[in-house]
Amino acid sequence: MHSLWLALAFDLLSNFRLLIPTILCHCCSGLIGRSWAMVFASGGYTVKIYDNQPGQSAKAITEIRKQLEELEEAHMLRGQLKASQQLNLISSHDDLAQALEGAFFVQECVFEQLEVKQSIFQDLERLVGNNVILSSSTSCLVPSSVFSKVHNKSRCLVSHPVNPPYYVKLVELVPHPETVMAVMDAAYALMTKVGQVPVRLKREIDGFAVNRVQAAIISESWRLVKDDVISVKDIDLVMSEGLGMRYAFIGPMETIHLNAPEGMEDYMKRYGEGITRLLNSFGPTPDFSGEEAKSVISEMLELIPNSQQHLSARKERRDLLLMSLAKLKKDH
């Protein structure tokens, strides 16, 4: 076993923070926090879970036990340890200072409210040594904002997972302007060790990389449906049965490199002008609320009603498919 302590901390209802010491995880009982705990335990690290509401961390472990057992039964459990061995690495704590003992890495996973995150990192900095890495799971707040009240910003970064992290292994590592390279290297090594696939951003930018690319896809898809060019059902098929088939294994840059006889430069000589023409025709950013959005939303609800029964069933289907895809990628 690695001498790594991970403490999960829950804060306000189902919101949480993930801290990693020798790993400490400060998180809530939500999907992202539980997934982080499972990911680190799969790598053989000890995980400490902290919650400021007594009993919540214990409930999280109960849910984690269920998930680990189901994954083992489906032969999709990550790591070399059995489910029972991984579960034994995870413990719950009601005292934050105690949970942070021995920490070298802290991963926060609370809801996306800037003031709450800033307060959390102020508390953490007060309780840990200067060599402890402070990391946030935020998906939409830049590091310079999240860590603005931290004194030693050189050890701070964002480690943004893709939902659900246990099946989708990508993690974006985003530095604060003052983050030192050694911290980025350590986070990269840790994420790689536990089986995630980290990517480094060279500097912070709103939305990071994942959400900027995702926003571009959502924007044009929304426009095409709103302008009555294509249906909601069919635009989803454009991705799931078209672009997504190859993007699951190779990215957009390699795709264009392979789609011309002599590679990327040849591709752009052939198609660059046409791509520019299309981009210039995209139009303004869509209105995602109000009257313009009603027809798009209505069409989606006809396909999948927003009741918990229907949404839960589709999420379960999504996770099963992601499990199968993850296994296929691992085997190839």
H/E element, 211: helix 210-226
Q: What local confidence, expressed as pLDDT, does residue 183 receive? A: 97
Helix (H, G, I), strand (E, B) or coil at 18: strand
Count of residues in the chain: 332
Q: What local confidence, expressed as pLDDT, does residue 290 receive? A: 86
Q: What local confidence, expressed as pLDDT, does residue 332 receive? A: 78
State pTM to two decimals.
0.90
The list of the chain residues with pLDDT below 70 reads: 1-22, 24-30
CA distances from 183 to 39, 173, 188, 274 (A): 20, 10, 8, 42
In whole angstroms, give the CA distance from residue 219 to residue 36: 30
Beta strands in the chain (DSSP E): 2-10, 16-19, 24-26, 45-51, 90-93, 105-108, 133-136, 156-161, 170-175, 197-200
Q: What local confidence, expressed as pLDDT, does residue 22 receive? A: 53
Q: What local confidence, expressed as pLDDT, does residue 45 receive? A: 87
Q: What local confidence, expressed as pLDDT, does residue 2 receive? A: 39
Q: What local confidence, expressed as pLDDT, does residue 28 receive? A: 52
